[in-house]
A and B are shown apart, each in its own frame.
Chain A
Amino acid sequence: MRSHIIGTIFRKEMLEVLRDKRMLFLVILMPFFLYPVMFTMIGYVGKSQGEKLDTEKVTVLLNPEAESTPIYDSLKANATLDVKLEAFEQTAIDTMKNTIGVLVGDGYQSSLDSNRSATVTIFYDSSKDLLEERVSDIKTSIEQLSQNLLLARLNDQKLPQGFVKPIDLREQNIAPQDRVIGKIMGRFLPMMLLLFIFTGCIYIAIDITAGEKERRTLQTLFTAPLKVSEIIAGKFLATYTVGLVSATMNVLSLLVAMYIQVQLLSGGKADEAFSLPIGPEGWAWMALIIVLATAFMAAISIAVVLLANSYKEAQSYVSPLMMIIIIPALMSQLPGMDLTATTAMIPILNISLAIGAIFQGIFNVGHILIVVFFALLYAGLALYLASLTFGNENVVTGDKVKFKALFSKR
C-alpha cells in the first residue's frame, strides 16, 4: 500500500465532507448545540417541578374525632398540608383534586392507654407524585409520633430502648463519592458513546461507498492504477476521522450540558459531583478503547453499507446495525455483567464493559488488553470483508453483491 495514495484519497474525502453542509450539521454542529439546549431546558423544567413538589399545598381530610389527638397537631405543623377536620368517604378521595384522607381509627386514646396499637389509615392516589411526596411526609410525622409513644411506654416499664430492638442493624456505604458517580456514568455513557461513534461513522460511510455507487463515481476510481486496499484504507481513514470527531464533539457537548444541569440543580456544586475515579492511566486506556471502538465502527459501517447499491438502500441498513450496537451495550448494564476474559472477546459488549469499568476506576489491565486485541481483530475482519466487497465485480455492474460471490475477484 502506498501511503501518499491513501493520503490523497483521505484528503479528497475529507474535503467533500467539509463541503457537505448537511453532514456537518448532522454530525458535528447539531449535537454541539442540541445537548446544552436540551439539558438546560430539562434542568429548568426539573428544577421548577422540584420546587412545585416541595411547596405546593395538598388538602388533608382528617376525621373530626382526631382533633384531640397529637396526629392533628403534627399534621397542622406541616406548612405544605392544608388540614381540614372533615368526615370523608374513602371512595370520594379519588375524585378530589390533590387530596389525602387520614382516618384515625376508633378508640385511639383507649388503645394507647392499654398499650395496644391504634390504627391510622391513609387514603391517596399513589399515581400522583405530589401526593406520594406528601404521604411520605405524613408517614414520617406519624412514625415519629409512634416512636415517641414507644419510648414513653418503655420508660413506664423501665425497659431500655434495646428491648424492642435486639439487633441494631447498621450499614455504611464506604464507596467514595467519585466511584458512585463513576458507576452512574459507566452505566449510560458507554452506550451513548458507542451510538455517537456509530452515528458519526455511518453517514459518511454511506456517502463514500453506496453514495458513490449511486452517483457513479466509484468506477472512475476502479480504473485508476490503485489497489483495492488503498481505496479502502483512504475511505476507512475518512470515516474513522469523522466518527472520532463526531464522538468527541458529542461527548464534550453532553458533558458540558450535564455539567450545566448539575450546576443548576445542585446550586453551584457541580465540581464535586463531577469528580471521577479515573487516573491518568485510566484516561489513557479510555482513549485507546475509544480510538479502537471508532476503528471497529468505521470498518463495520463501510463493510455493511458497501453491500447497498444506493443511498436509500444503505440507510435501510442503519436501524438493524444500530440494534446490533444497542443490544450488547444494554447487556453490559445487566446486573452481574462484568468485564472478564470471556466478555472481553464479545464485540461491542467488550468495549461497553471496558469503558464502564474504567469509569468506575476498577479494571483489570489484562482484560483491557484482551478487549484491545479483539477490537483490532474485529476491525481487521470488517475491513477484509469490505475489501472483498470492493474487489467484487458486481460492484462494477451494479448488481447485488452476493455473499457467495464475495470471494470471486473482479
Chain B
Amino acid sequence: MQALIEARGLSKDFGGLWAARDVSFQVEAGEIVGMLGPNGAGKTTTLRILSGLLTPTEGEAFVGGHSMQHAQQEARKGLGFLTGDMDLYRRLKPAELLNYFGRLYEVPETTLKNRVAQLMNAFHIHEFGDRFCEKLSTGQKQRVSIARTLVHDPKVVILDEPTTGLDIMASEFILKFIRSMAKEEGKAVIFSTHHLDEVERLCDKVLVIHTGRLVYAGTPADLNAQTGKNTLADSFFQLVNA
C-alpha cells in the first residue's frame, strides 16, 4: 500500500538550532499515528514541514505521493492541517468560514454545499451556527476548526494537539471523529498530543520525538515490549529520559 504521508530524512536548522534531525516515517491510509514528545522536542516543526509551512533544511516531505517541496499545490490539495497556532476569522459565521475555505480549495459549489451541510451536522455546528466565530467557546471553535480542516475532504489529516484546552466532553467528541475519519473514511491521520491515554485508545502507531530526533516509530504495544514497561506513559518516560 502506498504511504499517504512520508517524511524522508527531514531536518530543520533555525540558525544553529536543529529543531528536527533526520526524521523519517510513513503513514498509510486508514492509519492513526500519534506523535509524542516533550515541549520543544520538534513535533510542531516536523508537522509544519509536512504541511509546507516550513521548508526543511534537509530531506523531503510527501503528502498523497506529491512532494511538499516540489509540487506544493498538489500536495496541499490532499492535506487538512490544524495546529493550536491557527484560529478562526472572528467576523465570519461557521458556515461562511467553511464555504470560504472550500472555495480556496476549489471544491465545486454543489459538492461544497453538501460537504458543508454534512460537516455542520457531524460537528453539531448548527447549534451555534448563527454566531460569529469570535463569540464561540473554545470547544465550539475547535469543532469548527476541524470541520474547516476537512472541508475539502482531504486524504491526509494532520492535527497538532487538537484536544488541548478542551473539556472532557469536547475532547471525546474530537477523538471519536478522528477514529471515524481514519477507520470509516480511510484517511491517514497524524495527531500530536501530550495525552498518552488518547494515543493508547486511538493510535495504530506512535512516533516519539525527542531533541529533534525520532527515537521511536512503531505500535504502542511494541514500544512497551521494547522498554519492558506496562504502560505507554512509563515507556515514554524511559525513552525521553534515557
A interface residues with partner B (beta carbon < 8 Å): 4-5, 8-9, 12, 15-16, 19-20, 215-217, 219-227, 393, 396-397, 409-410
Of B84-92, B179-187, B232-240, the one with at least 4 CB within 8 A of chain A: B84-92
B169 CB-CB contact with A under 8 Å: no
Contact residues in A for B76 (Cβ distance below 8 Å): 223-225
How far is B103's CA from A225's CA once the two chains are assembled, in angstroms?
11
Q: Among the interface residues B79, B86, B96, which one has the most CB atoms of the partner chain A within 10 A?
A: B86
Contact with A along B45-86 (1 / 0, CB 8 A): 000100111110000000000000000111011010101011
Contact A224 B101, CB 8 Å, known A215-B87, A217-B87, A219-B83? yes
Most chain A beta carbons < 10 A, residue from B52, B81, B103, B104? B104
When C-beta atoms are compared, the residue in chain A nearest to B145 turns out to be: A220
Other-chain contact of A410, B55, B92, B148 (Cβ < 8 Å)? B55
User: Quick one: given A219-B83, A223-B79, A226-B104, are A396 and B91 in contact (CB under 8 Å)?
Assistant: no
Give every chain B residue within 8 A of A12 (Cβ-Cβ): 89, 92, 100
Which A residues are in CB contact (< 8 Å) with B85? 216, 219
Q: Known interface pairs A20-B91, A216-B85. Does A396 touch B104 (Cβ–Cβ under 8 Å)?
A: no
Whether the pair A217, B53 counts as a contact (CB closer than 8 A) is no
| Number of B residues with CB within 8 Å of any CB on chain A | 32
Q: A8 to B97: give the CA distance in the assembly, Å.
A: 11
Tell me, yes or no, whether B105 is within 8 Å of chain A by CB.
yes
CB–CB B86/A396 < 8 A: no
Nearest residue, chain A, Cβ from B74 = A225
Chain B contacts to A: CB under 8 angstroms = 14, 48, 51-55, 72-74, 76-77, 79, 81, 83, 85-92, 96, 100-101, 103-106, 132, 148
> Which residues of chain B are near A410, meaning CB under 8 Å?
52-55
A396 touching B100 in the complex, CB below 8 Å, given contacts A16-B89, A217-B86, A217-B88: no
Contact B86 A220 (CB under 8 A): yes
Please report the C-alpha to C-alpha distance between residue A291 and residue B87 in the assembled complex, in whole angstroms.
34
Contacts of A397 in B (CB 8 A): 14, 54
Q: Are A223 and B92 in contact (CB under 8 A)?
A: no
Given contacts A5-B104, A15-B96, contact A223 B53 (CB under 8 A): yes
- Distance of A50 Cα from B91 Cα, bound (Å): 51
Residues of A within 8 A of B90 (CB): 215
Pair A219/B54 contact, Cβ less than 8 Å: no
A15 touching B92, Cβ below 8 Å? yes
Chain A contacts for B81, CB-based, 8 A: 223
Residues of B within 8 A of A8 (CB): 100, 103-104
A393 contacts B53, CB within 8 Å?
yes
CB of A390 to closest CB in B, whole Å: 12
B104 touches A224 (CB 8 A): yes
* CA distance in complex: A19, B91 (Å): 7
By the criterion CB–CB under 8 Å, are A396 and B54 in contact? yes
Residue A396 contacts which of B48, B74, B92, B101 (CB distance < 8 angstroms)? B48
| Chain A nearest CB, measured from B62 CB (Å) | 15
State whether B86 touches A219 (Cβ < 8 A).
Answer: yes
Q: Is there an interface contact between B51 and A409, defined as CB atoms closer than 8 Å?
A: no
Nearest first, the 7 closest Cβ-Cβ pairs linking A and B are A225-B76, A216-B87, A19-B91, A223-B81, A16-B91, A225-B73, A8-B103
Q: Is the CB of B77 within 8 A of A225?
A: yes
Contact A409 B89 (CB under 8 A): no
A410 and B68 CA atoms in complex are apart in Å by 11
CA distance A20 to B92 in the complex (A): 11
Nearest Cβ distance between residue B56 and chain A, in whole angstroms?
11
Listed residue (A4, A9, A225) with the most chain B CB atoms within 10 angstroms of its CB = A225
Besides A8-B103, A223-B52, 5 new A-B residue pairs in contact (Cβ under 8 A), listed by A number: A9-B104, A219-B86, A220-B86, A393-B55, A410-B52
> Which A residue's beta carbon lies closest to that of B51?
A223
Residues from chain B with a CB closer than 8 A to the CB of A409 are: 55
Query: With a CB–CB cut-off of 8 A, which chain B residues contact A9?
Result: 104
When C-beta atoms are compared, the residue in chain A nearest to B52 turns out to be: A223
Please, could you name 27 A-B residue pairs with CB atoms under 8 Å apart, sorted by A? A5-B103, A8-B104, A12-B89, A12-B100, A15-B96, A16-B89, A16-B91, A20-B91, A216-B87, A217-B88, A219-B53, A219-B83, A220-B101, A220-B148, A223-B51, A223-B52, A223-B76, A224-B76, A224-B105, A225-B73, A225-B76, A225-B105, A225-B106, A397-B54, A409-B55, A410-B52, A410-B53
> Given the complex, which residues of B lie within 8 Å of A221, measured CB to CB?
104
Q: Which B residues are CB-close (under 8 A) to A215? A: 87, 90
Closest to A399 in B: B14
Distance of A396 Cα from B47 Cα, bound (Å): 13
Asked if B91 and A393 sit within 8 Å, CB to CB, the answer is no
Q: How far is the CB of A233 from chain B (nearest CB, A)?
A: 13
Closest CB in chain B relative to A403 CB, distance in Å: 15
Question: Given the complex of chains A and B, what is the CA–CA distance between A350 and B36 in angstroms?
Answer: 59
A402–chain B nearest beta-carbon distance, Å: 10
Contacts of B52 in A (CB 8 A): 222-223, 410
Contact pick for B53, options A4, A216, A396, CB 8 Å: A396
Question: Please, how many angstroms separate the alpha-carbon atoms of A177 and B206 in the complex?
Answer: 84
A57 to B167, CA, bound (A): 81
Cβ–Cβ < 8 Å partners of B132 in chain A: 19
Q: In the complex, what residues of B have CB within 8 A of residue A5's CB?
A: 103-104, 106
Determine the chain B residues whose CB is within 8 A of the CB of A220 once the complex forms.
86-87, 101, 148
